[in-house]
Amino acid sequence: MSVRYPNGKKFSPNRSFSTTNNVKKDERFSNRGMTLEEDINETNEYYRAHNIAVIHKKPTPLQIVNVHYPKRSAAVVTEAYFKKPSTTDYNGVYKGRYIDFEAKETKNKTSFPLKNFHDHQINHMKQVLAHDGISFTLLRFTLFDEVFLVFAKDLFSYVDNQDKKRKSIPKKDIEQFGTLITLGLHPRIDYLKIIDKMI
């Protein structure tokens, strides 16, 4: 299937899948190599299965252009475009509160690039906070396998000054105002443990 951005460029996921089949795995390392999105999806499934919270990944709105019908009962989308920029990655409800957050990862060792955050995402986060929702971002430093929860209000001062000299958030700053999430098995990234401290 060919998926295209509104400007016509092709979308190509930066993901490589391994075909090796290891029968016996050490559970401590079973999640290594998973993307942040996969870890969060697994965590959200755990939350739903245990009736803790209802949080889902938002679907990306697509405009379907071409469809191929190899069989009567099956349709294959061969070309599509992203209709418009999406807001944030995830939303849902927890203990009666609306939760909305973005997930980002970087291979940088000492900072998190601000170019990863888009204006429409920041504006959406501000709107969520204005209506007393909970908004944050999960940032993963992939080389260290560290995930930090950073509340939206702490992110704004960096992003709003992006047009000046600052191009990234130093990791030492994220370590100071963000919260490092201890990675586990079930759930993998227990971010609601941190939310519990603020509600």
89 labelled ligand-binding: yes
**8-31 per-position pLDDT tens digit:** 555 555 444 333 344 343 333 334
pLDDT of residue 22: 41
121 labelled ligand-binding: yes
d(CA 2, CA 19): 23
Mean pLDDT to the nearest integer, 137-152 = 96
Region 2-195: CATH code: 3.40.1350.10
Domain residues of the chain, as ranges? 2-195
**35-81 per-position pLDDT tens digit:** 899 999 999 999 999 999 999 998 766 667 778 787 767 778 777 66
Residue 129 has pLDDT above 60, yes or no: yes
d(CA 91, CA 193): 17
Using DSSP bridges, classify how beta strands 97-106 and 111-113 pair: parallel, antiparallel or unpaired. unpaired
Residue 160 has pLDDT above 50, yes or no: yes
137 labelled ligand-binding: no
102 labelled ligand-binding: yes
The whole-chain average pLDDT of the chain stands at 82
Q: What are phi and psi of 152, to 5 degrees?
A: -55, -40
Q: Which residue has the tokens 């469809």?
A: 67
